[in-house]
Chain A
Amino acid sequence: MFKSFEPNKVFAITSKASKYVLFLFIIVLTIGLTEALVLSPEDYKQSDVVRIMYVHVPAAWISLGIFSSLALLSIGSFIFKNKNFALIAKSLAPSGFVFNIIALVTGSIWGKPTWGTWWAWDARITSMLILALFYGMYLLAWRIYENKEQVIKVTSLIAILGAINIPIIKFSVDWWNTLHQPASINILSTKTAIHPSMLIPLGIMTVAFALFSLLIFLMKYNTELIKVKNKGLNRL
C-alpha cells in the first residue's frame, strides 16, 4: 500500500522540489506582505495593530495542523510498522515548533495594545504554550534517544498524548471565558466575521506559511534520508 512512498522512490522528487517551492514561497510571501501591510484596510477598533493577525493566525493554524499530522503519522507508524511515517513526522516537527513560537510571540505583541498586557494565563494562550512544550519534548526526544525503535515509540507517544491538547486549543474560547476572542472563521460553514478585504490577505499569508513549512519539510526529509544512506554506506 505504501510502496510508492518508499524513500528510495520519493527522494528523486523531494530533492528537486525544494527549489521550486522556495521560488513559489517568495512570490506568494511578497504578494501576502504587500496585501497585509499596504493594501488591506485598518480595523475600525484596533486600527493598524490588526495587521499582526496576518502573521499570528496563519502561524497558529499551521502549528496546530502540523501537530495533528504528527499524531496521525505516529498512529500510522504504530499500526503499519512503517518507519517512513516516523521520518516524515520528524521532518515536519521543526517548522511546527517555530510556527508555534511565532504564534505565541506575535500573540503576546498583539495583546499589549489590545488587552493591555503581554501575557495572560487564559485557556487559549496557556493551551498553546502547552503545545509548544509538547513540540519541545518531541524534538528533544529525537536528540536524546539513540535506539531507533525506542525513539520512535517515545516520540509517537508524545505526539499522541499531545494531540489531546488540539481540541482543547480549538474549543478553549467556547468552553471557557477567555480574554482571547472566539474564532472568526469557521471552515465548516460559510459564515465568517471577517470582511473579504481582510480575509484575502489572511488566505494569501496562510498559503505562504504553508509553502514555507513544505520547504522546510522537504529539506529536513532529504537530510534524514541522506543520514540513513550514510549509515548504509558504513555497512557496505
Chain B
Amino acid sequence: MINEIISMNGYEAYVWSAFSFTLISFIALYFVTKLQLSKEQKKFASKFDSLNVEKARVARSQNINREILSNISNI
C-alpha cells in the first residue's frame, strides 16, 4: 500500500514534485508574510515607546492602536 502511494505507478517524480512545489510555495509565502507582519509590529512598538506621555495618551485613545499593542504583547 505505502509502496504504491510512493511509486504512483511510475509517475512519482511528477506527482510528488507538483505537490512538493505547492507546499513549499505555501510555507515560503506564509513565513515571508508573517515576517513582514512582525517587522511592522516591532516598528510600531518601538515608535510607541518613543512617544512622550501626552502623545502616548492620544495614540492610546484609538481602539486600533490598543488592539495592535495587545497583539504585540501576545507574540
A-to-B contact residues, CB < 8 Å = 7-8, 11-12, 15, 33, 37-38, 42, 47-49, 51-52, 55-56, 59, 94-95, 98, 101-102, 105-106, 109-110, 112-113, 212, 215-216, 219-220, 222-223, 225-227, 229-230, 232-234, 236
Query: In the complex the two chains form, is B43's CB within 8 Å of A230's CB?
Result: yes
A236 touches B59 (CB 8 A): yes
Interchain CB contact under 8 A, A110 and B18 = yes
- CB pair B33–A233 under 8 Å, yes or no, is no
Given A225-B64, A229-B68; A98-B43 close (CB under 8 Å): no
Instruction: Looking at the assembled complex, report how far the CB atom of B51 sits from the nearest CB atom of chain A, in whole angstroms.
Output: 7
Chain A residues with Cβ below 8 Å from B37 are: 219-220, 222-223, 226
Size of the B side of the interface (Cβ < 8 Å), in residues, is 37
- Residue from B8, B33, B68 with most neighbouring chain A CB atoms (10 Å): B33
Within the complex, which residue of A15, A48, A95, A223 is in contact with B67, where a contact is CB–CB below 8 Å?
A: A15
Q: Which of chain B's residues 38-64 have a Cβ closer than 8 Å to chain A?
A: 40-41, 43-44, 47-48, 51, 55, 58-59, 62-64
Q: Which residue of B lies closest to A13 (CB)?
A: B67
* Complex CA–CA separation, A181 to B4 (angstroms): 28
15 CB-based A-B contacts, threshold 8 Å: A11-B63, A12-B64, A37-B19, A48-B9, A48-B11, A52-B15, A55-B19, A55-B22, A113-B14, A212-B26, A223-B37, A226-B37, A229-B64, A230-B40, A230-B44
Q: Quick one: which of A42, A94, A226 contacts B33, CB cutoff 8 A?
A: A94
- B25 close to A (CB within 8 Å): yes
**Structural contact, A113 and B11, CB atoms closer than 8 A:** yes
Question: What is the CA–CA distance of A219 and B36 in the complex, to the nearest angstrom?
Answer: 9
Query: Which residues of chain B come closer than 8 Å to A225, judged between CB atoms?
Result: 64
Q: Which of B8, B25, B34 contacts A101 (CB 8 A)?
A: B25
B36 proximity list for chain A (CB < 8 A): 220, 223
**A236 in contact with B64 (CB, 8 Å):** no
B residues in contact with A8, CB < 8 Å: 62-64
Per the bound structure, the CA–CA distance linking A223 and B55 in Å amounts to: 23
- CB < 8 Å neighbour of A15 from B8, B44, B59, B71: B71
State whether A102 and B22 are in contact (beta carbons under 8 Å apart), knowing that A230-B43, A236-B59 are contacts in the complex: yes
The answer to whether A215 touches B30, judged by C-beta atoms less than 8 angstroms apart, is yes
- Contact call A220/B59, Cβ cutoff below 8 A: no
Question: Is B22's CB under 8 angstroms from A229's CB?
Answer: no
B17 proximal to A (CB < 8 A) = yes
User: How distant is the Cα of A79 from the Cα of B11 in the complex, in angstroms?
Assistant: 51
